[in-house]
């Protein structure tokens, strides 16, 4: 082999290694976009996470405790608070609250129904216990309901989700465009590697490089998060929010492993094809 031919062959190898790197980078970015679409950009993901950790029941328990503390100063019994909170359909309340983020509509907690329901419950409580109406003026009742409403909003709201929720409706379209572009870009690079290599075993070798690189880079993010334990170290004000955040975060990063396994499987398959083709090519020489 001449010096000129060896130099040309080395340059071609470097070009294909660079294409493999670009393929790995494109597949990594595509993995990130897909994980975001299946998790952060999916209202079902949040609602299912809430259901899995028993979030609705925990919020009800915490809301009940807070309202009891408020009610003691106003002469309300614990039984009244328990019955009132039990009658709140927390699943529907949270569903409306979460869905608002994905539709781009108003994301504040709707307190009108809560206030109306509590005023009706207070009227019945006053009537059933023969409480003098003069001791329960409309002003006092409104003050009580407003304070209870503030407590209700604080428990229904999901602070960490509110930070990203406002951007979801605005970036859903660009995310889909990015997915399409990255998929086409990866396919384009794969096509270049495939059709410009005259030897079939080399096609599979460079595809294996790209797929292995994609699996490795995609695995870095969840590996760092789970090894560091950073998710469980978060400090939140209530048990319900802590459990929701930890479950949400763990599930989010677990989705990366789906793509790690997929790219790794394709890399092993490409390596197997490379080995078979390489053995066949060398045996014919």
Q: How many domains are there within the chain?
A: 2
- pLDDT tier for residue 89 given thresholds of 50, 70 and 90: very high
Residue of 260, 261, 255, 272 whose CA lies nearest to 207:
272
Same-domain check for residues 127 and 181: no
Contact 63, 152 (CB under 8 A): yes
Instruction: Quote the DSSP letter at residue 135.
Output: G
Would residue 151 be called left, alpha or beta, if left means φ above 0 and alpha means ψ between -120 and 50 degrees? alpha
Residue of 229, 257, 232, 228 whose CA lies nearest to 245:
232
Contact 197, 215 (CB under 8 A): no
Domain that holds residue 271: 3-43+169-283
User: How far apart (Å, rounded) are the C-alpha atoms in residues 1 and 193?
Assistant: 24
Residue of 152, 162, 158, 161 whose CA lies nearest to 62:
152
Mean pLDDT of 40-54: 92
Residue of 95, 123, 120 whose CA lies nearest to 109:
95
Q: Residue 130: what are its φ and ψ, rounded to 5°? A: 50, 45
Position 276 pLDDT exceeds 90: no
Radius of gyration of the chain (CA): 29
79-108 burial code (b ≥16 CB/10 A, e <16): ebbeebbeebebeebbbebbebbbeeeebe
3-state secondary structure of 212: helix
pTM of the model: 0.85
Handedness of CA 197, 203, 207, 212 (dihedral sign): negative
Same-domain check for residues 39 and 101: no
- Residue that is last in its domain, among 160, 193, 227: 160
Token duo for residue 264: 């790794």
Position 2 pLDDT exceeds 60: no
- pLDDT tier for residue 132 given thresholds of 50, 70 and 90: low
Q: Distance from CA of residue 144 to its chain's centroid?
A: 37
Same-domain check for residues 279 and 179: yes
Contact 260, 219 (CB under 8 A): yes
Same-domain check for residues 19 and 56: no
Name 140's Cβ contacts closer than 8 Å, sequence gap at least 6.
74
Same-domain check for residues 75 and 122: yes
pLDDT for position 181: 97
Same-domain check for residues 152 and 218: no
Same-domain check for residues 122 and 188: no
Same-domain check for residues 188 and 279: yes
Average pLDDT, the chain: 87
pLDDT for position 10: 81
- pLDDT, tens only, 105-128: 666 788 888 999 998 998 888 888
- Residue that is last in its domain, among 160, 179, 210: 160
- Residue that is last in its domain, among 112, 132, 160: 160
Looking up tokens 């053995």 gives 279
Same-domain check for residues 196 and 247: yes
- pLDDT tier for residue 141 given thresholds of 50, 70 and 90: confident
Token duo for residue 12: 């071609």
Same-domain check for residues 119 and 192: no
Residue of 265, 264, 260 whose CA lies nearest to 222:
260
User: How far apart (Å, rounded) are the C-alpha atoms in residues 81 and 100?
Assistant: 28
Same-domain check for residues 181 and 218: yes
- pLDDT, tens only, 189-229: 999 999 988 777 888 999 999 999 999 999 999 999 999 99
Same-domain check for residues 56 and 141: yes
User: How far apart (Å, rounded) are the C-alpha atoms in residues 219 and 209?
Assistant: 15
């Amino acid at each position: 082999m001449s010096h000129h031919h060896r130099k040309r062959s080395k340059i071609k190898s470097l070009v294909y290694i660079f294409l493999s790197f670009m393929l790995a980078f494109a597949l990594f970015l595509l993995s990130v976009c897909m994980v975001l679409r299946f998790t952060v950009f999916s209202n079902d993901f949040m609602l299912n996470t809430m259901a899995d950790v028993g979030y609705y029941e925990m919020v009800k328990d915490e809301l009940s405790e807070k309202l009891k503390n408020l009610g003691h100063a106003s002469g309300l019994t614990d039984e009244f608070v328990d019955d009132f909170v039990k009658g709140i359909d927390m699943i529907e309340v949270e569903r409306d609250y979460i869905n608002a983020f994905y539709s781009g509509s108003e994301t504040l907690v709707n307190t009108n129904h809560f206030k109306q329901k509590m005023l009706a419950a207070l009227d019945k409580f006053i009537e059933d216990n023969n409480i003098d109406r003069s001791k329960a003026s409309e002003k006092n009742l409104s003050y009580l309901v407003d304070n209870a409403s503030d407590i209700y909003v604080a428990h229904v709201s999901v602070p960490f989700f509110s930070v990203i929720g406002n951007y979801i409706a605005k970036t859903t379209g660009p995310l889909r465009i990015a997915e399409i572009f990255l998929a086409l870009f990866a396919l384009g690079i794969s096509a270049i590697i495939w059709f410009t290599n005259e030897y079939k075993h080399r096609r599979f070798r460079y595809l294996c490089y790209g797929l292995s690189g994609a699996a490795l880079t995609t695995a870095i993010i969840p590996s760092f998060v789970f090894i560091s334990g950073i998710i469980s170290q978060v400090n939140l004000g209530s048990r319900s929010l802590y459990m929701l955040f930890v479950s949400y975060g763990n599930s989010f990063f677990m989705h990366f492993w789906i793509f790690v396994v997929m790219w790794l499987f394709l890399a092993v398959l490409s390596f197997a094809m490379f080995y078979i083709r390489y053995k066949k090519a060398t045996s014919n020489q």
